[in-house]
Chains A and B, each alone.
Chain A
Amino acid sequence: MKKEKVTRSKSKTKLDFIKFFVLSLFILLSCVSSSFAQNAVANVTLSGVVKDKTTGEPLIGANVYVAALKRGSKTDLDGKYSIKLPMGTYRVKVSYIGYKSQKQSVKVTDNMEFAFNLSSDIELHEVVITSRRKDENLSKVDMGVQKLTNIEIQKIPALMGEVDVIKAIQLLPGVQSTSEGSSGFSVRGGSADQNLILLDNVNMYNASHMFGFFSVFNNDAVKSAELYKGNLPMRFGGRLSSLLDVQLKDDSPEKIKGVGGIGLISSRLTLEGPLGHNTSWLISGRRSYVDLFLKLSSDPDMKSESIYFYDINAKLSHRFSAKDKVYVNLYSGKDLFKSSFGNFSYGNAVASTYWNHIFSEKLFSRLSIDYTKYHYELGSSMQNSQVNWKSDIQDVALHYDIDHALSNKIKLEYGLSSTYHQFNPALVARPGYPDYRMQKSYALEHSVYLGFDHKINDRINLKYGLRATAFQNMGKASVYSYDKNYEVKDTTYYKSGKIYHTYIRFEPRFGIAYQLDDRSSLKANYAHNVQFIQIANNSDSGSPLDLWFPASTNIKPQRADLYSVGYFRNFNKNAIEASAELYYKGMNNVIDFVDNAQLLLNDKLEGEVRAGKGKAYGMELMLKKNTGKLTGFINYTLSRTERTIPGINNGKTYLAPSDKTNSVNLMLSYELSKKWSFSAGWVYATGTPITYPTGRFEINGEYYPIYSGRNTSRKADYHRLDLSATYTPVKNPKRWYQGEWNFSLYNAYWHKNPWMVSFDQNTSNGIPKAQMTYLFGAIPSITYNFKF
């Protein structure tokens, strides 16, 4: 599939260049230069943007290297690089995996901008280049980070043809899905609410559709998804286990282009284009349509039923000066299940706007304001018992982040943020009776941070920093205090706006990367993470009835210490990456709920919570092949995660629900020809812990279970093979679009993986028997994708 050739005229480039040059000069003259000039000879700064020649998309992490000075820079999130050097003429080499390297002679006489446009090295199917980590995976201090581009995500055979970002993340080492089909995931032994999920930097509280079978991210609109397994970047905090940073496409397309698909379950369309010279837009939508088939049914029940989900993303970016770019992002998504008895819906709404400002080549800032809401609603429409129950959580946040390059060796990042949280646990309305509203909670979370990215010498890179957060509970509130039996002892009332409790916590982070040679490195990282809000949801699977609740006078913030070391080795000129990482995570104040806890509609919820310690440790091995006809990865994780909480399991240590001793993920992709490519994925994991009865008692002819300990047994081991094939016909020059067919088979050898084990009584003798429910047999699917 050929990319459209869009050539940029030389004169246009020159014009931009002149504009930038004049502006930078002006800025520099008007700034007091900071004291980091180390040489007697005047140093000037060469900077600019590295872009993909065809799409205009900035390339992040591209290498810009001046061999004569042994000095270089990597491009940042906007594709910008910046190198300080003495005036002179230099051969500058720019390289990036998947692109043809460029060598350019640049005469540097003063601070100046020089842009590079690289041509793609890839033909046709955009063969998997797992990431731009040419040697970046060796030199970058960050470990426990994994990035997937949308192209890689698309290669992974998908359930019912629905390509899914989160399912792809669940294949990474150290990541476990919490239940079959679920979007919930556990990273290095943490629980599903310990992951911060961002869509273009805005928090998404529940990233799943259809009870977790699909995620809210439309892969066509996604540029990349990056998972940080505990060592979060300094500007983020508030979650113990991970950060999943999903970035939407951010091209500056020169004409309208689109991509979409028609599948068995849903269809989707993504369009992006320019609006004048300085503005770009993106609109993306996806909707499922199983319910349309329901309407065709002759069964009157089915006719009135509805089951659908949709996502809409809209993004607008406007460059209003050479230094300023403004973005507006909107997202809305919803799931609806409706039957003659009632309905159930849930969804997210996100709105954000941010302003990127370049002060100079060394100083860059982003100011953002965002809003996020997760809501769900249950309604019963049965006569005589009509009831409607709504719940939601809303955040308004302000962030100000600065990237500041002090020198070639030290880069700073610092900033602050403030978030207002509003928790609305329940509003129940019943005709004929007064509304029942569970009291809302309000909280403020303020953070400041300062981080250093410090290149000590050619071999050693350090990254360290500190984040400080104040978490405040605000009225109006009636706060219960509990005695040692968790019974309410008294209530204190706070008026609206009154700050009645503050926690101040620090999150230090430290990491070091030691490059042994040009092919291997050793890394070590330490992070202390704190979490102030958590979910009251003790189901293992992706139930959408998430009830977020804040730390307070009765609930302390959770915290974790993560230690990790790793050895990274590349082979064959970085075509093959191998890594081995070990981690240990100690957690404190982790929560769980007492037996038979009443979580919903309970204003004394805090009395059901118990807090204690958690421990998780493991080893993650990964091998990845990035180039050639056969690409893919295989990883193996050996791990354990357990909890010890007084009041749970009689205070004895028990395995956390997502503990899987062994976990193997294999993903292979083979480009047979220009027309055909195939993928296969095989996953294997030890069965998750489960609590089975160790006895029974009988009352009035019915048998009831007796349990001796939590999670002392295991389900059967889980494994499954997924296959997919993609057929791309030769592009018909008369057609304005390019199509391709994708065939997939989920669970190809029909392995019955138990999802739920339940009990029933034999009809004949009433004696209990066990029953196993499995969700999926082998599921085939066909999708037609197109691009223009």
Chain B
Amino acid sequence: MKIVSKFSKIYIGILIATSAAFLGACTEDTTINTENSTPVPVVYGTITDHNVRQEIDLSSSTGYFDKEGNRRISEATVTLDEDSTGISNTYTLAQDSVGSGIYKTQQAMAGKPGWTYKLTVKTDFDQDGTAETYQAESEMPKRVNLDSITITKAKEGSYTLFSLNINAQDPPVEENYYLCRYSINDTIYNKISKYIYFDDTSLDGTYVKNLSIWHFFDKGDKSKFSDSDAEDMVFMSAGDRVHAEVSNITEGYYHFIEDCQGQKDGSNPMFGGPPANISTNISNGARGYFTAFSTSSANYVAPKDFTK
């Protein structure tokens, strides 16, 4: 039950931080020497059911502490195939502006649940005169309908928390994996570290009513956290408008998000395993991920009053 282990990670983290404070643990910047491995191409794209010019990002990996940003891949041929029983379409993607590394379909198109998407990227990454091919494939899972969301306000100790609750029908039988992305007022949090992800191990095809999938801290409590922690956190206040998008994602993409969030800041000797590479479904030694999912969204305004 991933919700449990995720929440346990959160409050264990809080408990540890509290105990660490008692013991005088300190964190400071340091320099470490690392070797740099050979760069590899990085392919990232998520095909959605929004009718837009679908996008793939191509860049290169680089040394971990490199002062320059990661170089974009500009000379690549990118094609997207979509298949369903009996039907096949191919789209060619082109860079939207010179040197951006962002490749888009020429026309707007919407992905369709149940269809299989295949990405092919051809580029001479190692500059040896021959182009290498990098591929990935993903089916777009069935759509899940998010009926509505609510935000409830609660007090835990001296902290005020806003719980994001969803109402939706969990499709029966299969194992389902979910992604929820949100924006607060008009700030979109589209970074993987901010994604909410969960599975349906304990839901089992029931109608999910007011399932709490996340807690946001109140802006008023921001000063209780250290500056560096507060920077990475998302705060909200009563009256904020929350827009949530829930998607039924593939198991592979679910693990990719889990790996990214787990590995991003290094491993904790107490609760993590040793550092490991983030999973990928791109072939031929490249990194990143390619997937497809549909979305269903709803809105709510964070209440002023506490829920009983």
Answer whether A and B are interacting partners: yes
> Considering the chains assembled together, what is the distance between the CA atoms of A430 and B202 in angstroms?
10
Instruction: Judge whether B62 and A696 touch: CB under 8 Å.
Output: yes
Q: Are B266 and A699 in contact (CB under 8 A)?
A: no
Q: Which residue from chain A places its CB closest to the CB of B275 in the assembled complex? A: A691
- The verdict on A756 contacting chain B, using a C-beta distance below 8 Å, is yes
Most buried by B among A305, A545, A706, A713: A706
The answer to whether A428 and B4 have CB atoms under 8 Å apart is yes
**Is the C-beta of B174 less than 8 angstroms from some C-beta in chain A?**
no
Stretch at the interface among A91-99, A323-331, A402-410, A757-765: A757-765
Q: Which of B109-117, B133-141, B233-241, B256-264 contacts A (4 or more CB under 8 A)?
A: B256-264
Given contacts A305-B18, A695-B62, A771-B30, contact A701 B191 (CB under 8 A): yes
A545 to B272, CA, bound (A): 11
- Give, as a whole number of angstroms, the nearest-CB distance from A718 to chain B: 14
**A574-626 at interface with B (beta carbon < 8 Å):** 593, 595-597, 599-601
What residues on B are CB-neighbors of A540 within 8 Å? 269, 274
**In the complex the two chains form, is B274's CB within 8 Å of A691's CB?**
yes
Task: Kindly report which residue of chain A lies nearest to residue B44, judged by CB atoms.
Answer: A699
Q: B276–A378 contact, CB under 8 A?
A: no
**Beyond A344-B15, A384-B212, A695-B64, is A771–B27 a contact (Cβ under 8 Å)?**
yes
A131 to B140, CA, bound (A): 71
Interface residues of B in 5-52 (CB under 8 A from A): 5, 7-8, 11-12, 14-15, 18-20, 22-37, 39-40, 42, 44
Contacting residues, chain B, for A692 (C-beta < 8 A): 32, 34, 64
| CA A774 to CA B269, docked complex, whole Å | 12
Task: Check A483 for interface membership: any CB of B closer than 8 A.
Answer: no
B156 at the interface (CB under 8 A from A): yes
Contact A705 B264 (CB under 8 A): yes
A337 and B156: CB pair below 8 A?
Answer: no
Answer whether residue A205 sits at the interface, using C-beta atoms and an 8 A cutoff: no
Chain A residues in 8 Å Cβ range of B12: 344, 378
Query: Could you tell me if B278 and A704 are in contact, using CB atoms closer than 8 angstroms?
Result: yes
Residues of B within 8 A of A752 (CB): 26, 28
Q: Judging by beta carbons under 8 Å apart, are A387 and B61 in contact?
A: no
- Cβ-defined contact, A385 with B163, below 8 A: yes
Verify A755–B70 contact, CB threshold 8 A.
no
> Which residues 55-69 in B have Cβ within 8 Å of A in the complex?
57, 59, 61-67, 69
Of A337, A339, A543, which is within 8 A of B271 by CB? A543
Tell me the minimal C-beta distance from B268 to chain A in angstroms: 6
Instruction: Compute how far the CA of A185 lies from the CA of B157 in the bound complex, rounded to whole angstroms.
Output: 37
A494 at the interface (CB under 8 A from B): no
Q: List residues of A whose CB falls within 8 A of some B CB.
A: 179, 210-211, 213, 290, 299-301, 304-305, 307, 337, 339-342, 344, 378, 380-385, 387, 389, 428, 430, 433, 436, 538-543, 545, 593, 595-597, 599-601, 657, 691-708, 710-711, 713, 752, 754-760, 763, 765, 767-777, 779
Query: What are 24 A-B residue pairs whose CB atoms fall within 8 Å in the complex?
Result: A290-B22, A339-B11, A341-B159, A342-B15, A384-B210, A428-B4, A540-B269, A543-B270, A545-B271, A601-B5, A693-B34, A694-B36, A699-B44, A705-B263, A705-B278, A708-B35, A758-B268, A759-B264, A759-B265, A770-B29, A771-B28, A774-B26, A775-B24, A776-B24
Residues on B lying within 8 angstroms of A by beta carbon are 1, 3-5, 7-8, 11-12, 14-15, 18-20, 22-37, 39-40, 42, 44, 57, 59, 61-67, 69-70, 152, 154, 156-159, 161, 163, 165, 190-193, 201-202, 210, 212, 215, 228, 231, 255, 258-260, 262-279, 287-288, 307
